[in-house]
Amino acid sequence: MSVYTPVTEAELSRWLEHYSVGRLTALEPIKAGIENTNYFVTTTGGRYVLTLFERLPAEELPFYLELMAHLARHGIPCPAPVADLADRYLRELNGKPAALVTRLSGASVERPGEGECAELGRLLARMHLAARSYPGYLENPRGPRWWRYAAERVRPFLDAPAIALLERELAFQAAHRLPDLPRGPVHADLFRDNALLENGRISGVIDFYFAGVDRLLFDVAVCANDWCLVDPKSDQRLDPGRTRALLAAYDEVRPFTAEEREAWPVLLRAAALRFWLSRLYDLHLPRPGMLVHAHDPEPFRRILALRIDGDCPWID
């Protein structure tokens, strides 16, 4: 959500002539994140978010946008892509594929409690069930194949203990692919800043641009490793109460299988590995850009080490 490609009001006004959304009244860059260029857009017809896709392959973009449209039609509070007058979700803007989606109300929560974690669990399970009828397919773009690629790229920047941890975990995950777990489209990046809440209820799930088909439990593990920490900055252990609230609420909507219950420690480690690697990659191999915010990879190294040591509370 950093600004790599500037857009002026005049440029956007011309671009919006291809949409039935009214006249542009405000344009504001969104200054957080690292992947795409995003702006808040206000028109006489409503409030939107404009995304210019900086490096996602063009052939992958329909999967994300059509998944969001599918989920929105099935009652999931996610941004709905806006079609242009030719009924297309994608148009080029300043040399980049671009899309306009509805802007949702609410705000992210820095310190979620058990109630918010339970709300997330119910919403995540509903989202997984709704996505079962989505016909598109894209393997998780930040899955095991990408882990191996990223590991090779970041290895020169790591010290010996970090290299040893990385190699051990890659070998462990290669031996625990768990292909028989329930699979389907997953968000794969549902951190606290990608959920909006109002009055204790989730009013929006945003930023689907890491979505893909993976084990559903991986999505739950990604959430637990961010929402359920004792303290995200200083104590990366899982808080048992919030973790169990997340899991129990999910289980009420989509019951976990026996295989998923056994696989929970493995998927927590997989989710930690994925984000440790992506943050190492973005830190050491950055792209030129404006307003870029790379996340510190060290908390996810500690998360991975803790999960390896057995910090994996469950609902039983």
State which of 71, 102, 133 marks the end of a domain.
Answer: 102
Both 208 and 296 in one domain: the answer is yes
Residue 207 CB contacts under 8 Å (≥ 6 apart), including other chains: 1, 33, 189, 194
Both 95 and 123 in one domain: the answer is no
Distances (CA, A) of 270 to 118, 211, 278: 22, 16, 12
- Written in H, E and C, the secondary structure of 92-135 is EECCEEEEEEECCCCECCCCCCHHHHHHHHHHHHHHHHHHCCCC
Coil, strand, or helix at residue 73? helix
Does residue 313 sit within a domain? no
Both 139 and 97 in one domain: the answer is no
Give the pLDDT confidence score for residue 35 in this predicted structure. Answer: 80
CATH number, domain containing residue 229: 3.90.1200.10
Both 138 and 284 in one domain: the answer is yes
Does residue 119 sit within a domain? yes
Strands (E), the chain: 24-29, 37-43, 46-52, 91-93, 96-102, 183-186, 195-198, 201-205, 212-215, 229-231, 235-238
Coil, strand, or helix at residue 303? helix
Both 136 and 95 in one domain: the answer is no
Does residue 108 sit within a domain? no
The CB density around residue 54, as the number of other CB atoms within 10 Å, is 16
Both 91 and 64 in one domain: the answer is yes
Q: What is the DSSP letter of 157?
A: G
Q: What is the pTM of this model?
A: 0.95
CATH number, domain containing residue 24: 3.30.200.20
Does residue 316 sit within a domain? no
State which of 77, 102, 127 marks the end of a domain.
Answer: 102
134 close to 213: Cβ distance less than 8 angstroms: no
Both 157 and 98 in one domain: the answer is no
CA atoms within 13 A on the CB side of 222: 22
297 close to 280: Cβ distance less than 8 angstroms: yes
Both 93 and 123 in one domain: the answer is no
What residue has token string 């039935």?
20
Give the pLDDT confidence score for residue 33 in this predicted structure. Answer: 53
Two structure tokens written together for 271: 């989710």
Does residue 86 sit within a domain? yes
Does residue 281 sit within a domain? yes
Give the pLDDT confidence score for residue 3 in this predicted structure. Answer: 74
Both 193 and 268 in one domain: the answer is yes
What's the CA gap between 199 and 197, in Å, rounded? 7
Does residue 3 sit within a domain? no
What's the CA gap between 171 and 236, in Å, rounded? 23
Structural Rg of the chain based on CA atoms: 20
Both 163 and 52 in one domain: the answer is no
Distances (CA, A) of 235 to 66, 125, 149, 193, 302: 38, 27, 29, 19, 9
Both 71 and 137 in one domain: the answer is no
Does residue 4 sit within a domain? no
Give the total number of structural domains in the chain.
Answer: 2
Both 85 and 133 in one domain: the answer is no
For 15, the domain range is 9-102
pLDDT tens track, the chain, 316 positions: 467 899 999 999 999 999 999 999 999 999 765 688 999 999 999 999 999 999 898 899 999 999 999 999 999 999 999 999 999 999 999 999 999 999 999 999 999 999 999 999 999 999 999 999 999 999 999 999 999 999 999 999 999 999 999 999 999 999 999 999 999 999 999 999 999 999 989 999 999 999 999 999 999 999 999 999 999 999 999 999 999 999 999 999 999 999 999 999 999 999 999 999 999 999 999 876 544 567 899 999 999 999 999 999 999 7
State which of 102, 136, 171 marks the end of a domain.
Answer: 102
